[in-house]
Chains A and B, each alone.
Chain A
Amino acid sequence: MKLSLALLLVCALAIALASTGCRTPTSYATADDPHKIHVGIVFDIGGKDDRSFNAAAWTGVKCAETGLLPNGQSCGKPKLDIVLRDVEPGNPTSIEPAMRAFAERHYDLIIGVGFAQAPIMESVARDYPNINFAIVDGVSQLPNVASLVFREHEGSYLVGMIAAKTSKSGTIGFIGGMDIPLIHRFEKGYEEGARAVNPNIRIIQNYVGVTDSAWNNPGKGKELALSQIGKGADVIFTAAGNSGLGAFDAVEQAGTQNGRATHFVIGVDSNQNGVKPGFVLTSMVKRVDNAVYDIVQQVVNHQFKGGFHVFGLSEEGVGYAMDDNNRSLISPDVILETEAAKQKIINGQIKVTDAMAQ
């Protein structure tokens, strides 16, 4: 009896471990061609299907591997003939073993997704100076680490303008995921853009939480959105990973009037306009996909350089998404004004505060 119990527990734990992301690349490495460039990517806690930040990184590496988007369409860039392996850590403690497993297999490039991985990557990269590393949203001074950082405040400024122009109530909302400096950058840029259009606008700011579970709590995200709608907000910008999807539900629930939604949400990181067409005003896109593709390409061409790789409006690393899902929601005048502001930011005539530099 004791034996069968032990077996039961061992089975349960084995399944759990196998599926929480302690998968090492070892198991399939035998079939790989050793002459190809090997790329390993370690995702953030949100996982690669958050329809947002991690999804953008996944799109980028998938494009490099196959020349296709995850939905099977062409991504418009050549495939780079790499071997790609990914890990989705079930909890923060499995990030480091995953990175070390890639490094031990002599991968050519190891990509970490998310600010939280920066200190971990720093310690791993120090132990493997001959391997190239890239960290999205994080910063490292090591020569073998490329820091892929974005000027989110610039893109957020533009969607802040669009929000303020579209709002009828004079109140707009912001929902951040985890309360960290990186997300303050979105918040501050959004606020400045909105105030540039309407100095008296009221902006309600909320955060889902202060731990990493804040990225995965759509129920709380929806409650925050409903509370903001209750206080009069009619456009809500989310920068909260999976939790932001709760705000999408909240605006849909608020309904439509004469065929037009009464409340809108602004998506983040990936183009989320198609998540709930008609309710998504626009998305503050952060081209993590392009940044990740470029760094893979540089490794393939033996041109990898460590240090800062900064992606702002001028590099088209950030921006706002316009497509068939939202063209009818925003008036052409607003687009013209937003485009003018975009040029001014690129020329340096408008300076957007970077909340992380303060």
Chain B
Amino acid sequence: MRDLFNIGLLLSTIRLATPLILAALGGLYSERSGVINIALEGLMLAGAFTAASVTHYLQNPWAGLIAAICAGVLIASIHAIACIRFKADQVVTGTAINILMIGLPPFISGALFLSTGSTPQIPVNKLIPWTPVVIAFLLVFVTWYVLYKTPFGLRLRAVGENPGAADAAGISVTKIRYAGVLLSGALAGIGGAYLSIGQSSLFTRNMTSGRGFIALAALIFGKWRPVQTMLACLLFGFTDAIAIQLQGVRYGGEEIPNQFIQIIPYLLTIIVLAGFIGTSRAPRALGQPYEKER
């Protein structure tokens, strides 16, 4: 057991939790304003692909990071326009964006790099392995401050809980919701950039492998609150890290089957969700397009 718990495990937990925290915080801004954001996976892919491509062309990861934010915002604006302006079903639009982002990066990389699905590798000295980690943890507290201590945060929460009342109080529901969704694109974009120019050195198709959805689970698990959501992400990161450490470990002469180890994170999620957190209440207006009363 002693060689299981060490500094390596801690660092591994933090690295694995970082993309989840960034995406989950993004989801928080969107969902607190009342717009379901199931598109986090697609937004992360947009960020990951753009970051890797721009970093490759300019040999500058900071440019890549900024481009990833822009890409996230751009794709999120599709979601925002469809959901807010045209009052589309938010789950359907989000799913459409996820499907779009499975196909779009290989399509573009085919034109740019004659390679469908992956970008050229970036040299290790052009990567930013720790900056996004610092950004992620700082943003948790920034988000907490914004949400609970600023007028914008109050308006965001009001619009997500009772848009009618917020509107009557003179708050523009539309503007606040646009801000929420676009911010979610920016943050998920950083999360994706971390995957392609922080943790690894290239983009490969579908490289998020479900992290956007795990971030969404962490957001629900964290009851749409920034600090709790971060703790949920750390728990998921920890179970992932411990699963890595447990592989190949022998217990009483028998190796623990790999398939069992791989389900630990999900098993733990179900147990914790079912038993320990109590009811997790969504923002009341979540998923409902706002019709202005006349």
Contacts and interface: CB of A to CB of B under 8 A. Distances in A.
Interface of A: 1-2, 4-5, 8-9, 12-13, 15-21, 46-51, 88, 90-91, 179, 204-207, 209-210, 213, 216-224, 226-227, 230-231, 242, 245-246, 248-249, 252-253, 275-276
Contacts of B241: 223
Nearest to A1: B86
Given A207-B258, A210-B259, A216-B209, A20 B116 contact: no
B86 A5 contact: yes
Chain B interface size range: 35 or more
A5 B205 CA distance: 28
Contacts of A253: 124, 129
Given A210-B262, A226-B8, A20 B200 contact: no
Given A48-B116, A217-B209, A245-B121, A230 B258 contact: no
Nearest to A86: B116
Interface in B70-118: 78, 81-82, 86, 88, 92-93, 96-97, 99-100, 102-104, 106-107, 115-118
Contact of A47 (B19, B88, B116): B116
A12 B199 contact: no
Interface in B125-155: 127, 129
A223 B16 contact: yes
Interface of B: 3, 6, 8, 12, 15-16, 19, 78, 81-82, 86, 88, 92-93, 96-97, 99-100, 102-104, 106-107, 115-118, 121, 124, 127, 129, 195, 199-202, 204-207, 209-210, 240-241, 244-245, 247-248, 258-259, 262
A20 B8 contact: no
A348 to B, nearest CB: 31
Contacts of B99: 12-13, 16, 20
B15 A223 contact: yes
B201 A12 contact: no
Nearest to B122: A249
B96 A50 contact: no
Contact of B106 (A19, A209, A231): A19
B56 to A, nearest CB: 14
- The main secondary structure of chain B at its interface with chain A is helix
Given A90-B106, A227-B245, 18 more contacts: A12-B96, A13-B96, A15-B107, A18-B107, A47-B116, A47-B117, A49-B115, A90-B102, A216-B206, A216-B209, A219-B200, A220-B209, A223-B199, A223-B240, A242-B207, A245-B202, A249-B200, A253-B129
19 contacts: A1-B86, A8-B86, A9-B92, A9-B96, A12-B78, A15-B107, A17-B103, A20-B102, A46-B204, A47-B118, A47-B204, A50-B118, A210-B262, A216-B206, A221-B200, A223-B15, A227-B12, A230-B8, A249-B124
A6 to B, nearest CB: 9
Contacts of A220: 209, 240, 244
Contacts of A217: 207, 209
Nearest to B210: A213
B195 A47 contact: no
Determine which residue in A20, A21, A46 has the highest number of CB atoms from chain B within 10 A of its CB, and name it.
Answer: A20
A226 B14 CA distance: 14
B13 to A, nearest CB: 10
A224 B244 contact: yes
B199 to A, nearest CB: 4
A282 to B, nearest CB: 19
A224 B244 CA distance: 6
A54 to B, nearest CB: 10
Determine which residue in A49, A207, A230, A276 has the highest number of CB atoms from chain B within 10 A of its CB, and name it.
Answer: A49
